[in-house]
Structure 1
């Protein structure tokens, strides 16, 4: 497997340099008040050029090694989706000996490649071209939701205001994002109601092709996701924000055409490259246990059968000892779902599962919990071209299966979960069903799956067997967050100190985030 080194981070070591260390240096650093009539006559290209980079940087879709060290070597493994067949030197995230170099990358590139651009959009568009400003806020919300759910406190309100910015707490970030989404949704809704033709066509690299209504639905759906994330720490705010999204005239995702998907600029899928070209990314043991136990038809869409046990899907257990670099080289590699050059930012299936949980909690979600749960399964089957959803939904006998490692029996494990697919009778069991099915449907976005696992404890996953954290990270609880970027430690010490203070615990992988509270789900 290839493990490339970060090159640009050497030049972009702090938020201070984030304003200059970009591919479009001249454009980014142009005085926003100096936009000439000629520039504006060019269809606002001085604004559009700043938005485009986010489409390939938010979920890295064109540079495989960047995706690898931003997500593949972190959340994709901790979520139970997929794993690597070998260790990488003395520090390795999968055995909880966290690698600060890898774990700094998501932070560094989010600010350098996305937030710095969107800050310039704000300078050029706010109060003058608020359709573009609203659009930038939606993308900013999607970016910072991921960053704060990785690290906790982060730079948000002070970005661009303070040279070396202090951090907002995660609670403050969530409230700021809710406010930004409210502005964006209201602004674009007013323009739709006024009959305005979208100005985003040609710049929008998603399948929405600039449709204002679709971006409003995405913003509402993102707000719903964030509302559910905070349900255990601020249930009143969670309910308010969730119901606001559902009651909006354009609402949230309900059909397959609503799926928020972006075409890779190189028409590749980085997961496919890591799995097949690098031969270094394989199905996780949890996928084999859960989907295999359910005889889930999506399993063959997500993964290929193995060569170690011909004709069978075999996953690798995360966080074990790997005898050699080739020991697990014949296990299941990625399949059809990650072969296409499309990246899903958010799916209709996920939104149905969010609504199902909301209904389970007594919120007004426009349907019953059971009905919305079943619609979520059907939406996922539809997205993946799988058949047999009705029979699958009705099955109350199949359960996740035990895991058997054909190489080393020491890695064998009894199935962590015992839930079936069919709707049950008590809240906690039904929540486990909802989150387990959402976990299946959200594949391959390990970051979102890891966040939901931390919030709810579901789906129940296998524990690692080779904990090398020196007692810092609990094997039972797993990694709870990423440590702050080394660039901030080195170049923004006061900002870093403010982040640690608002974190409420040591800057390590065991400290829980604001919404990750140690309490029951109900």
Structure 2
């Protein structure tokens, strides 16, 4: 992949205007929106189902080069999962906290030009007529756009489709997302209770759910649980209400490995493997080597290849993020990513969220220990790895020191020093560190979510960057807190950007904390 090949996207009036304002695809004025047309009957709703394809393909972009700048060179490197051994942009880039605008706009532009555009079309075609499709589109919309607001902060949400739209605050976005999940869960639950056969069946539902409304409800409830936990520091009462609503719902949240959401599009293989193994642009990080290597975690082989450099004797060796890379060859052929599936959410994550909820006094239908250990077991089962019981009982092993085989100046003393085994006598802070560390491992390679949870909790503890080229803007220990608003919006919608900055609560840079990222204790 050559990052100097950045594709340009044409923008009509504002990038965020709906496709109606850019095309001649208008509805015929005299069409009765309450009737099913003969075309729709003949097509078995294929005209609607086809609109879901770009959503599946772009929440995580399933093409390697844009995925790299949407995900790898943002969340993946800031989460502690992955690192690049490559000297991009002269060695001063996102990894060293000097933002590259042409990288950071990908997550924004893709979300609006593909995902939100498709969601808007689905709403026009289905709302009030075929609400089963509308409900599923809302769940997908929340999955896509909570990632975007957790990158940038204020975003265009309620005003999407207007010319030069004003941004919503992140609090407003989260409030609307909870409301959208309310509608989706109620609508699909009603159809389940009525015994209605799915309209979103195999062949149109490009996931392992195959249109199963019950699984979609479990996903929506689990997504609600994730969002509830995200806001626990800034809106604890609402967080508790939303979390308990998710768990107490008659269908509930993800509990079985089969509930894990897997994208099954024709090109469903996760692009990170091609980027890592084919291009050599991304590798295991020093942080995940330190933590998983210290635990002798059996899942290492399910995530990574072994290093073929430096007489490693079959070891897993990573690269430290934020170092001075002298030559690309110095860290070439270290451990590469070896993941085949693109996953939106796992059953394991749902268990870890519930375990944390118990620490906070919420009714999560289980004890913290039982839910924590169930999360570990679910992750092992998901990856077909044995030994979960032995791993979970280990109260000795901790993270190991990192040794850079190419340059000793990059070595690091282990910082995330907690064992795996649950300790009922430990403080809630230690218990939380264990929960988040195991959730971090289980969620691999979803670096966006891992980065968000690191910002919220401070866990797992990671190595500081050694080379910080932010000009003093971003703290080397605290790391990147958000991404600045993108150039495509500054050019097309400057008033909207100004409204976003006003609602941000700080400068438009990578050090300003988001609404839920409160500088306060976890308990």
Could you state the TM-score of these two structures normalised by the residue count of structure 2? 0.95
Query: Counterparts of 2:276 and 2:65 in 1: how far apart (Å)?
Result: 12
CA contact (8 A) 1:319 1:467 kept: yes
From the superposition, tell whether residues 125 and 411 of structure 1 become closer, same or farther in structure 2 (CA, over 3 Å).
Answer: same
Query: Counterparts of 1:164 and 1:222 in 2: how far apart (Å)?
Result: 30
CA contact (8 A) 2:16 2:113 kept: no
Query: Counterparts of 1:212 and 1:264 in 2: how far apart (Å)?
Result: 19
Aligned to 1:15: 15
Question: Which secondary structure state, in structure 2, belongs to the residue aligned with residue 53 of structure 1?
Answer: helix
Aligned to 2:214: 213
- 1:349-370 Cα shifts (integer Å, max 9, x gaps): 0000000000111100000001
Question: Which secondary structure state, in structure 1, belongs to the residue aligned with residue 111 of structure 2?
Answer: helix
- 1:36-73 Cα shifts (integer Å, max 9, x gaps): 82332222223222122111111112x10010010101
CA contact (8 A) 2:292 2:399 kept: yes
Query: Counterparts of 2:502 and 2:450 in 1: how far apart (Å)?
Result: 27
CA contact (8 A) 1:12 1:112 kept: no
Q: Are positions 1:301 and 2:302 aligned together?
A: yes
Aligned to 2:76: 76
CA contact (8 A) 1:256 1:348 kept: yes
Aligned to 1:363: 362
From the superposition, tell whether residues 32 and 140 of structure 1 become closer, same or farther in structure 2 (CA, over 3 Å).
Answer: farther
What aligned pairs does 1:251-330 form with structure 2 within 5 A after superposition?
A: 251-308=252-309, 309-330=312-333
From the superposition, tell whether residues 163 and 267 of structure 1 become closer, same or farther in structure 2 (CA, over 3 Å).
Answer: closer
Aligned to 2:182: 182
Query: Counterparts of 2:30 and 2:483 in 1: how far apart (Å)?
Result: 38
Shift of 1:13: 8.4
Aligned to 1:331: 334
Query: Counterparts of 2:114 and 2:401 in 1: how far apart (Å)?
Result: 43
- 1:291-320 Cα shifts (integer Å, max 9, x gaps): 000000001111111122231110000010
- 1:429-449 Cα shifts (integer Å, max 9, x gaps): 000000000000000000000
CA contact (8 A) 1:32 1:120 kept: no
Question: Which secondary structure state, in structure 1, belongs to the residue aligned with residue 197 of structure 2?
Answer: coil
CA contact (8 A) 2:268 2:342 kept: no
Question: Which secondary structure state, in structure 1, belongs to the residue aligned with residue 342 of structure 2?
Answer: strand
Q: Are positions 1:354 and 2:357 aligned together?
A: no
Q: Are positions 1:374 and 2:373 aligned together?
A: yes
Shift of 1:122: 1.1
Q: Are positions 1:87 and 2:90 aligned together?
A: no
Aligned to 2:433: 432
Question: Which secondary structure state, in structure 1, belongs to the residue aligned with residue 321 of structure 2?
Answer: coil
From the superposition, tell whether residues 20 and 73 of structure 1 become closer, same or farther in structure 2 (CA, over 3 Å).
Answer: farther
Aligned to 2:500: 499
Shift of 1:267: 4.6
From the superposition, tell whether residues 17 and 127 of structure 1 become closer, same or farther in structure 2 (CA, over 3 Å).
Answer: closer
Shift of 1:466: 0.3
Question: Which secondary structure state, in structure 1, belongs to the residue aligned with residue 174 of structure 2?
Answer: helix
CA contact (8 A) 1:78 1:450 kept: yes
Question: Which secondary structure state, in structure 2, belongs to the residue aligned with residue 487 of structure 1?
Answer: helix
Shift of 1:266: 2.1
Aligned to 2:418: 419
Aligned to 1:196: 196
Query: Counterparts of 2:24 and 2:215 in 1: how far apart (Å)?
Result: 32
Aligned to 2:165: 165
CA contact (8 A) 2:189 2:217 kept: yes
Query: Counterparts of 1:451 and 1:242 in 2: how far apart (Å)?
Result: 18
Query: Counterparts of 1:181 and 1:252 in 2: how far apart (Å)?
Result: 13
Shift of 1:164: 1.2
- What is the root-mean-square deviation of aligned Cα atoms in Å? 1.7
Question: Which secondary structure state, in structure 1, belongs to the residue aligned with residue 179 of structure 2?
Answer: helix
From the superposition, tell whether residues 16 and 232 of structure 1 become closer, same or farther in structure 2 (CA, over 3 Å).
Answer: closer
Q: More displaced, 49-58 or 449-458? A: 49-58
CA contact (8 A) 1:401 1:414 kept: yes
CA contact (8 A) 1:32 1:124 kept: no
Shift of 1:327: 1.1
Runs of 5+ unmatched residues, structure 2:
none
Aligned to 2:145: 144
Question: Which secondary structure state, in structure 2, belongs to the residue aligned with residue 447 of structure 1?
Answer: helix
Question: Which secondary structure state, in structure 1, belongs to the residue aligned with residue 431 of structure 2?
Answer: helix
Shift of 1:170: 0.3
CA contact (8 A) 1:21 1:112 kept: no
Question: Which secondary structure state, in structure 1, belongs to the residue aligned with residue 263 of structure 2?
Answer: strand
From the superposition, tell whether residues 334 and 151 of structure 1 become closer, same or farther in structure 2 (CA, over 3 Å).
Answer: same
Shift of 1:330: 2.1
Query: Counterparts of 2:21 and 2:364 in 1: how far apart (Å)?
Result: 44
From the superposition, tell whether residues 475 and 364 of structure 1 become closer, same or farther in structure 2 (CA, over 3 Å).
Answer: same
Question: Which secondary structure state, in structure 2, belongs to the residue aligned with residue 345 of structure 1?
Answer: strand
Query: Counterparts of 1:247 and 1:94 in 2: how far apart (Å)?
Result: 41
Aligned to 1:442: 443
Could you state the TM-score of these two structures normalised by the residue count of structure 1? 0.95
From the superposition, tell whether residues 187 and 276 of structure 1 become closer, same or farther in structure 2 (CA, over 3 Å).
Answer: same
From the superposition, tell whether residues 434 and 82 of structure 1 become closer, same or farther in structure 2 (CA, over 3 Å).
Answer: same
CA contact (8 A) 1:282 1:316 kept: yes
Query: Counterparts of 1:100 and 1:6 in 2: how far apart (Å)?
Result: 11
What aligned pairs does 1:110-149 form with structure 2 within 5 A after superposition?
A: 110-149=111-150
